[in-house]
Amino acid sequence: MPETYEKLGSFYLGKTYDFDAGEHTEDLLLYDSKDLTTHGVCFGMTGSGKTGLCTVLLEEALIDGIPVIAIDPKGDLGNLLLNFPKFQPKNYEPWIEESVAKREGQTVPEYAKSQAALWKKGLASWGQKGDRLQRLQDACEMTIYTPGSEAGIPVSMLKSFQAPSEELRADREQMRERVAAASASLLGLLGIDVDPVQSREHILISLLLDKAWSEGRSLSLPDVIGQIQAPPVERVGVFDLESFYPSKERMTLAMSLNNLLASPGFEAWLAGDALDLSKMLYGEDGKPRLSIFSIAHLNDAERMFFVSSLLNETLSWMRRQSGTSSLRALLYMDEIFGYLPPTANPPSKQPLMTLMKQARAFGLGALLATQNPKDLDYKALSNAGTWFIGRLQTDRDRDRVLDGLEGAAAGAGTPFDRKEMEARISSLGKRVFQLYNIHEREPAAFQTRWAMSYLSGPLTRAQIERLMRDRKAKRQAAQPVSAVAAQAESKPVVEQRPQLPSDVPEFFAPVRTIGPADAKLVWEPALVGAARVLFSDARKKIDASRDLFEMTPVEDDATPVDWEAAESVELSPDDLEDEPRQDGEWGELPSQAHKTKSYTTWGRRYKSKIYAEERLNIYKCAALKAFSEPGEDERDFRIRLEDLAREKRDLLKEKLRKKYEPKIARLEDRVRKGEQKVEKEKQQASSHTMSSVLSIGSSILGAVFGRKVVSATNVRKLGTAARSIGRAGEQRADVGRAEADLEALKQQLADLEAEFVAEVDAAEDSVNPLTEELETLQIRPKKTNIDLRLLALCWMPYWRSDKGGLTPAWE
């Protein structure tokens, strides 16, 4: 069954197809997950089964523990969450349109019952049962994100233009591409079609981003708007700034961006989960995730802005990973039309091309689907190692595919028979695909298996909201409330900023978001501490550091500062400002915070708290003989263990293949020869039996109806016939021996296959990175290795809604 092969990283996509018979065979079509590191493309017109095939492939990846980022322009991919292991009709009802049921002459409950029965029967016909659907549910977390909408889980896109990773900043070419894509996608939201050489808007914003990112600083959109008005540069090329782009015209651009952010409905872009690929690929426990980004509700400019941002974040995440030869994660995009065109250069094109060229080394596979091959850049096609080709709409589409296949085959150095491939592609029917894989010796035709997910069609916003309702509630309940905010919510505010003595250290956190229309900015006081902690163990060869930035409330009581209530803040001392960026209301400041000596005491207590609590944990996984890196938490270590386990599995797969493939091939060859021998012996036995009968019959007829006296010749004929009967008996005995030999060979083959499966099972069950018990080694810091870099009063900006809730404005 397919489950046996899934353990070795094989995707069960369907069964091979026999064009002569016009139906699928019983031979499984198994695709090696490792082959997707060289990327894949899927072509097929409407009705070809392309969406079903891609759904099947994603199901297999998730069962195999591969996290998936899926970009969904149509709304179909949410069907992956419609997975019902018990096939209960009530589970199908919410996803059935009343009009569809009426067309079938049924009510919605009746139609749901028929669909449940249909899915159960369909899956069973392809060797799949409810327990396999349960495996899919248990294998991963599934989330539908809706950027610019609160139907699903919203995505915070406009809080900050996050500085790229250090690795990407060191590569100037990649840095320029990232800056250009971010600038173009932002201006695209304003409807400005930019030219990187001629557009002043593009050049200016690119300069601002490049300067900040090169220094490792992130910019918020308010930062960008502010710097457009007062750029931190004096010249652009050989021209002074005012000659290149006068301030009055820069103000027009700044106003356009500000109006966009302040427009009704744009608040949805300001809230939600940050675009953090690590968190969207893996859960808090390291469990793989399916993150579907549904963008059907966005206009073209918004789609391009989001997709470009997501692709660039994917590049940043990719470059932080270690190299691997196994499939680590999968990026899938349905309907790639417009994002990777052959001639134009939209902001999404460059990051996609970079992924197609470089992602293999990092184990990131890309799978792109489209109806028309002409939608894709030819260079991108040449970087795809796997082609899934379904029924195409025109001869021109077919020729385009053949040209691309020929180029890919030439690049890989593999043979390609254009005429035969053309004949096959022309004969494809619904759910029948031609697979061309540069890692295999020859192409294969197959029919896709039945999808485990209920394919109800594109999901509406209301249906997405229904699917994500429980997830939203859990997410809301899990969001921690800042101790500073909790204290502030019950205390009054004043309009005037409290005045402090000049020797009291005072700073302001940056305002990085634009609040909702009904929100007011409130500055709340907090004590912040920043420290660098060194962990050293010469015997274990460990020398690591950890930077801390924490805040805690300052209260007006006997113990004004409690460091036990401190919480980490994603800021650094360099982010703090000497003056507030904008005015607002101010929280009450306790009297103790006005005294300079208080900060000396609080700093001493903060160092004591660090010494008592901070530990460097080093984790060990004995099964994989792996240790965590200094500063690597348990979640990230388990994620890395998953990669190590997958690499180990793939190496084992190759080892077992080399060990068993020749043996199985030899036995299969002997079985084929045995079958041929049995057939030959049967034919010979049948021939001898027939000739003996004919010989005896003619002799008897000659004796009876010929001469009245039996001649010596007839006697001799009868003797020959008798001996022929004896030889026929011997031939039947030969058939029996050949059949016995064949059965023995088949048993040997079955025993060898059972031995192979046993070795696979033993290796697969040896370690589960998500549940493996880890040994923990703790290293504590010396007091002399705690460097207190900052201890100060810091005003933290919050947005206060009409209902009184506070939302951090610096995140």
User: So what's the pLDDT on residue 388?
Assistant: 96
Same domain, 608 and 652: no
Same domain, 505 and 380: no
Segment among 74-88, 255-269, 482-496 with least mean pLDDT: 482-496
Q: What is the pLDDT of residues 247-299, one digit of tens each?
A: 999 999 999 988 887 787 777 787 788 888 999 999 998 999 999 999 999 99
Domain of residue 525, residue span? 482-615+780-808
Phi-psi region of 789 (alpha: psi -120 to 50; beta: other; left: phi over 0): alpha
Same domain, 522 and 598: yes
Strands 626-627 and 786-800: unpaired
Same domain, 135 and 151: yes
User: So what's the pLDDT on residue 718?
Assistant: 45
Region 320-330: what's the mean pLDDT?
Answer: 93
Name the token pair of 755: 């031995």
**Cβ-count burial of 36 within 10 angstroms (0-12 exposed, 13-18 middle, 19+ buried)?**
buried
Buried b or exposed e, range 524-540, using 16+ CB within 10 angstroms: bbbbbbbbebebeeeee
- Among 213, 240, 269, give the residue marking a domain's end: 269
Read off the pLDDT band of 687 (50, 70, 90): low
User: So what's the pLDDT on residue 500?
Assistant: 92
Sequence-distant (≥ 6) Cβ neighbours of residue 328 within 8 angstroms: 66, 321, 362, 363, 364, 643, 646
Q: Is residue 412 part of a domain?
A: no
Same domain, 40 and 164: no
Same domain, 185 and 256: yes
Same domain, 197 and 340: no
Q: Is residue 11 part of a domain?
A: no
Q: How far apart are CA 125 and CA 130, in angstroms?
A: 13
Q: Is residue 468 part of a domain?
A: yes
User: Residue 46 belongs to a domain with what CATH number?
Assistant: 3.40.50
Same domain, 500 and 602: yes
Give the residue from 351, 438, 283 showing the smallest Cα distance to 71. 351
Cα–Cα distances in angstroms (integers) from residue 665 to residues 204, 443, 509, 677, in the given order: 65, 20, 69, 18
Give the residue from 523, 420, 407, 774 showing the smallest Cα distance to 624. 774
Name the token pair of 325: 């030869």
Let me know: does 794 contact 484? Beta carbons within 8 Å: no
Cα–Cα distances in angstroms (integers) from residue 582 to residues 8, 522, 587, 646, in the given order: 58, 10, 15, 51
Q: Is residue 656 part of a domain?
A: yes
Segment among 131-140, 184-193, 660-669 with least mean pLDDT: 660-669
Residues in the chain: 811
Same domain, 279 and 140: yes
Q: Is residue 344 part of a domain?
A: yes
Q: Is residue 26 part of a domain?
A: no
Q: Is residue 798 part of a domain?
A: yes
User: So what's the pLDDT on residue 380?
Assistant: 86
Region 32-44: what's the mean pLDDT?
Answer: 94
Same domain, 559 and 641: no
Region 803-808: what's the mean pLDDT?
Answer: 80
Structural domain tally of the chain?
Answer: 4
Helix (H, G, I), strand (E, B) or coil at 577: strand
Q: How far apart are CA 376 and CA 371, in angstroms?
A: 10
Same domain, 366 and 465: yes
- Among 479, 498, 533, give the residue marking a domain's end: 479
Q: Is residue 83 part of a domain?
A: yes
Strands 506-508 and 493-494: unpaired
Cα–Cα distances in angstroms (integers) from residue 129 to residues 123, 136, 288, 683, 765, in the given order: 6, 12, 23, 44, 22
- Among 241, 269, 297, give the residue marking a domain's end: 269
Give the residue from 199, 196, 256, 201 showing the smallest Cα distance to 231. 201
- Supply the mean pLDDT for the chain: 86
Same domain, 78 and 171: no
Find the distance separating the first CA and the last CA of the chain, reported in whole Å.
50
User: So what's the pLDDT on residue 349?
Assistant: 92
User: So what's the pLDDT on residue 766?
Assistant: 61
Helix (H, G, I), strand (E, B) or coil at 88: coil
